[in-house]
Chains A and B, each alone.
Chain A
Amino acid sequence: MISQSVSLLHPFQCHILSHRLGSSMASHTISISSPLPTSSSLRSIASGSYRTNRNLSFCNHLRPSFHFHISLDPHRTARLRPPTVSAALKNLSESEPVAVPTDPQEVPAKFPPDSGVYAVYDSNNDLQFIGMSRNIAASVAGHRNSLPDLCCSVKVGVVDEADRAVLTEAWKSWMEEHIRTTGNVPPGNQSGNSTWVPARQQAPRKKPDLRLTPGRHVQLTVPLEDLIDRLVKENKVVAFIKGSRSAPLCGFSQRVVGILESEGIDYESIDVLDEEYNYGLRETLKRYSNWPTFPQIFVNGELVGGCDILTSMYEKGELAGMLKK
């Protein structure tokens, strides 16, 4: 039997510490941990709650965040048997590759929107990546889109029980088979390689909030009103909110952030409660805008209003039009 220690493996940071290859799955000692990159992609997906459905459908792609898509079946968790590979899953070598159509629209016709494992081959028929997914068709389409040269044909192994443990076992079986036959880990699965992680999950976290001043210790050479004026005129959409955009401290501010995020609007946010960098902003802004409450939303240098008005515009579909001016 081949005994191999593979120190780090992709995808989803599945750290395989020591690894005995053998015919019996149960003999493996494998520990899976989810380090930091996982939680950050979790955060970026969680923030996707603001996004519309068209983005969520791409979320079916299995990545570190995979495990929270599952609502655990109480019956399954009660059993807690060692997971076995689905009997229906063919070996990697026995599976037939399917050519990936160049037209993304044709992908759903060739690939099932089912959960399972898949192996991606490039134009030289070299295996680039083995992945697992909740929606193979969506994953393949995504890879084809971002990595057309590396994604020319794909072997598919549908796994009917979309239980994370079962899927992981299936993925491992293909991975082990490949390692056994070639002695290599597919390039896309090697540690540190994030080529195959969908761009959206790699996206930086939300923009940081803007700060009006460098801090209270710094004397302002320009009146605060001028700073505000400059800010709202130099940026198309500016939202003065309570708290930060990633953690609003008021229900109205939260609603405003939610609307702006769900419309995919590029906006600047300023925390009016920040006493260090925005000291004095609350009172000055009330005077500047002639508006006594927060949040306040400015577009093209003009006050559009507060939460009520933004909500009303959003519900009437007026936001997109306003932003085109």
Chain B
Amino acid sequence: MGSRAANAMLSRAQRIKSKLQSALEASLLEIDDVSHQHAGHAAVRASGSAGETHFNVKVVSAKFDGKTLVNRHRMVYDALTDELQSGLHALSIVAKTPQEIAKK
């Protein structure tokens, strides 16, 4: 989705979205920056005013089919390795397959 330089100008939320999109071929992606909910957190303070340390992520992807929760979360984490090494501190993940969403 463009060069690294272009990516740097996007917010972390946008970067997360695009990375998960390409890695997981997600049919649904919802990303929320909830760093403000963890305002007292050491990692939040360290990142400065930008926040962007804690996110809620909801992903729907057929690639999750047949995989345990642990492995689904691992897939999400793997797609975001760079982010995790550059200040992303925590993710709350909801990882579902299209069938599971349809059932609700």
Contact = CB atoms under 8 A, between A and B. Distances in A.
B77 A291 contact: yes
A305 B38 contact: no
A309 B90 contact: no
A263 interface: no
A293 B90 contact: yes
Interface residues of A, number: 15
Contact of B84 (A252, A292, A304): A292
Given A251-B38, A292-B84, A305 B90 contact: no
A16 interface: no
Contact of B73 (A250, A251, A252, A308): A308
Contacts of A306: 73
Interface residues on B, range: 10 to 19
Nearest to B88: A292
A8 interface: no
B74 interface: yes
Contact of A305 (B73, B81, B84, B94): B73
Interface string A292-320: 11000000000111111100100000000
The DSSP consensus for interface residues of chain A is mixed
Contacts of B74: 290-291
A304 B70 contact: yes
A312 B84 contact: no
A309 B69 contact: yes
A251 B77 CA distance: 20
29 contacts: A250-B41, A251-B38, A252-B90, A290-B74, A291-B73, A291-B74, A291-B77, A292-B77, A292-B81, A292-B84, A293-B77, A293-B89, A293-B90, A293-B91, A303-B70, A304-B70, A305-B69, A305-B70, A306-B73, A307-B92, A308-B69, A308-B73, A308-B92, A308-B93, A308-B94, A309-B69, A309-B70, A309-B73, A312-B69
Interface of B: 38, 41, 69-70, 73-74, 77, 81, 84, 89-94
